[in-house]
Amino acid sequence: MQPFHRPGDTPVHRLPAQVKIVTALVFVLCVVATRRTEFLAFGLYFAVLAGVWTVARIPPVWLAKRALIETPFVILALALPFVAGGPTVDVLGVAVSEQGTLAGWNILAKGTLGVLVSLTLAATTSPRDLIVGLQRLRVPAMVITIATLMLRYLEVIAAEARRMRTARICRGHDPRFLWQVGATARGIGTLFVRSYERGERVHLAMVSRGWAGAMPDDPRPVGRSAWLLGLVPAAVAAAVLVGVSL
């Protein structure tokens, strides 16, 4: 798995996590609320994001590689013009559904912008800061606990799976062959038990160091300027939304 966090020391990186979380949320809400036919608005949203990337020094290629997570939705969006019903229009001699094309565009534009916003947030905020940011936004403690443990255990499970795979390969297993997929499938049960046990040990180690459900936080008051600066992308998006809706 490629790391989603890209450590750096830019104004975007330095913003408090809670400011970035709120900005990302507002931005995505604006994108979702925009009518699908407002093509210019989507262009403007993208431009705002590109501006943030410039300030945060995130190369577009770096983002593009991680945006591949969206591929299944892109395939769906590309299929819609051909499978949806309703009146059709001819594009280069091929009849495509008008509603289907718009629906596909809707998924593609909003989905891509949503993924890019999440990637930008993840790239400029370390996982730990994200948790602390949610904590400062008074997200319920149970949600925080689940997020913390998930973050911790994802790595644990991935490492466990890697070790088991190595051990299988060393005994002549070749998971590239389809008929050997059975061993991988059976391994998943073992993986669950091993991860569960390791998870228990990790939990014990955290509890032994006084962990009681919340990440330790140093609540420094966030100045108004940080909020003003951080909310600029959200404010632009809101202005665009209001502009095209009037």
Partner 1 sequence: MTALLVDGLAYAYPDGHQALFGVDLRVEEGERVAVLGPNGAGKTTLVLHLNGVLTAGAGRIEVAGLPVAKANLKEIRRRVGVVFQDPDDQLFMPTVRDDVAFGPANFGLRGADLDARVKQALDAVGMADHADRSPMHLSGGQRRRVALATVLACDPEILVLDEPSANLEPVARRELAEVLLDLDRTMLMVTHDLPYALQVCPRSVLIDGGVIVADGPTRDLLADTALLAAHRLELPFGFRLD
Tell me which residues in 35-74 interact with partner 1 (CB under 8 A).
none
**98-137 footprint of partner 1 as x/- string (CB under 8 A):** ----------------------------xxx---------
212 binds partner 1 (CB under 8 A): yes
Considering only CA atoms, which of 97, 99, 113, 107 is closest in space to residue 30?
113
**172-211 footprint of partner 1 as x/- string (CB under 8 A):** --------------------------x--xx-xxxxxxxx
Tokens 């913390």 sit on residue: 148
Phi, psi of 16 (to 5 degrees): -60, 145
Sheet strands (E) in the chain: 88-91, 94-97
Tell me how many helices (H) and strands (E) the chain has: 11, 2
Q: Closest CB to partner 1 among 208 and 225?
A: 208
**142-171 footprint of partner 1 as x/- string (CB under 8 A):** ----------x--x---x------------
9 binds partner 1 (CB under 8 A): no
Cβ-count burial 93-120 (b if 16+ within 10 Å, e if not): eeebbeebbebbbbbbbbbbbbbbbbbb
Tokens 């160091």 sit on residue: 209
Please say whether the beta carbons of 124 and 6 come within 8 A: yes
CB of 194 to partner 1, least distance (A): 13
Of 218, 221, 224, 225, the one binding partner 1 by CB under 8 A: 218
Binding site for partner 1 (CB under 8 A): 126-128, 152, 155, 159, 198, 201-202, 204-212, 216-218
